[in-house]
Amino acid sequence: MHIQEKVNIQPFVTLAVPAVAKFYCEIHSQQDLLEALRWAQAKGERVVVLGGGSNVLPDEFINALVLHIKLLGKEVLQNTDTQAEVQFGAGEVWHELVMWALSNGFYGVENLALIPGTVGAAPIQNIGAYGVELEHCFKSLTAVNRDTLHEKIFTKAECDFGYRDSVFKKIAKDKYIITQVTLVFNKTISAALDYPALLSTVELLWQHSRGPFKPELISPIDVANAVIHLRQSKLPDPQQLPNVGSFFKNPVVANAKVEELKQRWPDIVVFNVDENTKKIPAGWLIDKLGWKGKEVNGVTVHKQQALVLTNPNKLSTACVLATASAIQASVLQHSGIALEIEPQCIA
């Protein structure tokens, strides 16, 4: 364990906002973690956890010990004819996990390809894309209590997953540090293609490389390739244009609210959640109100995906949040919907 003082963590944050940690430590082992937590307790310092830095909005000075989780490793716990159970270190890169799973004939996360971040961060917001969420293949996770330093295993039920939500954003927030995540994969081929854009992209790529489309032969690898194609066509690469991906959550509203909005926007896009509610793409609302491609306070609403705010000038979190607030106010005024932001603010 090596604790450093006043470390610039801007390179570790995909939004590229200026940020300095009072103390900083990379965590490569369980021992590193326990020693760092004991050090923080002895010094009376707060602890902030950093993973891939793809879903955070740090202050310019973080008055805390920042623990950068680098816990690696994969272990196949069970492997039958139909399923595989695998435990991953929290510092593993999520997209690399997806591709590793596919290369081993383990399926179920292909719709989540190219989502930035680490494995340990995935359960916190129950990452999801194109009709699939982490909870669909999640079994359990191991986490260390920040105060007692004891390990606890969280089952799926205990994680209390919701849309971009979990217990780690509620009563367990800032109480645990995730060290391992166990997933259960299917070994039988199936494809989740509920999103029309995803199916049409699978067909397009198929025809381009293999000729006439044969939907009965679609594989999980075909789905992953289509997801990667879609994300690369819509979302900017953070290394080229700083961003945190989707900045706002897609609001879930009652059916009555959708009918109300249809009076103003007959072409409104919605997705069924259950018999009483529907999900509205936040990017659609933002685009409809004319924000796509606009620059506000040096922060830009991406020209291809209005759900993404980019920070080409590497301005502060405060500047980014000011732009986000202006968008939220506009959407609330014209639709009555209060948009929530996805990334986590850390100070």
- Distance separating alpha carbons of residues 56 and 246, to the nearest angstrom: 12
Catalytic hit among 92, 110, 133, 342? 342
* Sign of the dihedral defined by the CA atoms of residues 215, 95, 166, 9, in that order: negative
* Region label for 250, one of left (φ > 0), alpha (ψ between -120 and 50) or beta (otherwise): beta
The four Cα atoms 48, 49, 55, 59 give a dihedral, to 10 degrees, of 20
* Contact residues for 50 (Cβ-Cβ < 8 A; gap 6+): 9, 12, 56, 66, 67, 68, 69
Nearest partner of 331 among 318, 340, 321, 344, judged by Cα: 340
218-252 burial by CB neighbour count: b if 16+ within 10 A, else e? bebbbbbbbbbbbbeeebbebeebbbbbbbbbbbb
Three-class SS state of 96: helix
- Distance separating alpha carbons of residues 305 and 280, to the nearest angstrom: 15
Q: Is 246 a catalytic residue?
A: yes
- Distance separating alpha carbons of residues 329 and 289, to the nearest angstrom: 11
Q: Is 342 a catalytic residue?
A: yes
Q: Is 164 a catalytic residue?
A: yes
CA angle (146, 147, 149) in 5-degree steps: 65
Question: For residues 7 and 156, is the Cβ–Cβ distance under 8 A?
Answer: no
Catalytic hit among 54, 110, 140, 164? 164
Catalytic hit among 166, 246, 316, 335? 246
Enumerate the active-site residues: 164, 246, 342
